[in-house]
Amino acid sequence: MSKAILLGSGTSTGVPTIACTCPTCLSDDPRDKRLRPSLLYQSDTTTIVFDTSSDFRTQMLRHAITTLDAIVFTHHHFDHIGGFDDIRPYNFFSGGKALPLYLMNETLTALQATFPYAFGKVEQLGGGVPIVETHKIMDTAFHINDIDILPIPMYHGSMRVNGYRMGNFAYCTDTNYIPDTSLDLLKDLDVLILDALRYEPHPTHFTIDQAIEIVKKLQPRKTYFTHIAHQVKHVECHLPEGIELGYDGLEIHV
């Protein structure tokens, strides 16, 4: 049996949002405390993380993740790559072993531009640099040890991004358009985690109503929404049967 943990269910600013006094940001409901979006996926022998969110360090400490076999990136927006430097302790405690990264070429280019010292452009070494090995993702399935992963091409505005399917579980964050050919790859799911930013329209994310329409097409047995903005207060969001808002720390056995 595999296990998924929603490490962060929030949007790029996190919730509460700095300087905001809205009801959600002032809420004492722990489900309204949302770190930046990320997912942990574990089999009996393998642990992988989807994206190094801006809150990566906090997420790894919160869930006591002492070993990590690989990181898979969905895309290169900063809230999904901002914690990249904090992978260094996994290098320290593995004797300097490189951590595998699985990513599209555009994400690699963004990482190289944002963290050049990790890719050979080092003026002076201080506390060390992330040691990684990169694996380019194509539109075909790949595996990390005993976990088989199928990329699901999607769009985040005009940006090509990836969702991922592992068996009957899929993680599809940061999208407002899933092509029909990709919808076909998301049929017969036990669990779907899907982008649903807020009630109001947004140019690069599904609204809650738009996400519900995707769920109606796919009919997974259970759906959790993620990448949730502060306009959505957990207790006040009423969804159709089989759909729930995700929250930080949500644990799903697959």
Terminus-to-terminus CA distance in the chain, angstroms?
6
Domain 3-119+129-253 -> CATH class: alpha beta
Residue 123's pLDDT is 66
Tens digit of pLDDT per residue, the chain (254 long)? 899 999 999 999 999 999 999 999 999 999 999 999 999 999 999 999 999 999 999 999 999 999 999 999 999 999 999 999 999 999 999 999 999 999 999 999 999 999 999 998 776 666 789 999 999 999 999 999 999 999 999 999 999 999 999 999 999 999 999 999 999 999 999 999 999 999 999 999 999 999 999 999 999 999 999 999 999 999 999 999 999 999 999 999 99
Residue 28 makes CB contacts below 8 A (sequence gap 6+) with none
Residue 95 makes CB contacts below 8 A (sequence gap 6+) with none
3-class secondary structure per residue, the chain? CCEEEEEECECCCCECCCCCCCCCCCCCCHHHCECCCEEEEECCCCEEEECCCCCHHHHHHHCCCCCCCEEECCCCCHHHHCCHHHHHHHHHCCCCCCEEEEECHHHHHHHHHHCHHHHCCCCCCCCCCCCEEEEECCCCCEEECCEEEEEEEEEECCEEEEEEEECCEEEECCCCECCHHHHHHHCCCCEEEEECCCCCCCCCCCCHHHHHHHHHHHCCCEEEEECECCCCCHHHCCCCCCEEECCCCCEEEC
Two tokens at 170?
């899929």
Hey, what amino acid is at 25? C
Handedness of CA 183, 187, 193, 198 (dihedral sign): positive
Where are the domains positioned within the chain? Answer: 3-119+129-253
> Judging by beta carbons within 10 Å of its beta carbon (0-12, 13-18, 19+), is residue 229 exposed, middle or buried?
buried
pTM greater than 0.75:
yes
Residue 1's pLDDT is 87
Query: Where do we find the tokens 């002076």?
Result: 124
